[in-house]
Amino acid sequence: MRAGPLRAILVVLCAVVFGVGIQGYSQSATPSLPATPPQPAGATNVPVAKTPAPYESDPKFVAAMTEGKKLSAKGDMIFAIDAYKKANKISGGKCAECLRQMNTHPDEDGQLQGCSRDCG
């Protein structure tokens, strides 16, 4: 299998997903993408409301997130992290805010919680 086509696919994928190219790869080979997708005639730029995930209305999830926020505000980071872990578990591991909060606050050892340890 040749590396050329795979590298081109990787460059396009990185450009689309992350908005970046691979270092050392010529920019002329990277396709330019429009800043915004084309709109149908007569369409307006009305923002679409985000549909909340099903777990966001779960009372147990809401309680765990509220507890995590209260504990964070009080400075009880160890217990706040535990509350965010619980909320993330309730969400089935799909709560980006939970993961962000766990990776923002240091644990009892002064280390940031790593997703590799906490994500199932």
Question: Global pTM?
Answer: 0.51
In angstroms, the CA 69 to CA 60 distance is 14
Taking a C-beta distance cutoff of 8 angstroms, is the pair 87, 65 a contact?
yes
Taking a C-beta distance cutoff of 8 angstroms, is the pair 42, 34 a contact?
no
pLDDT per residue of the chain (120 residues) written in tens, 0 to 9: 455 676 777 667 666 666 555 555 554 555 565 566 666 666 666 666 678 888 899 999 999 999 999 998 998 888 998 999 999 999 999 898 888 888 876 656 666 555 444 444
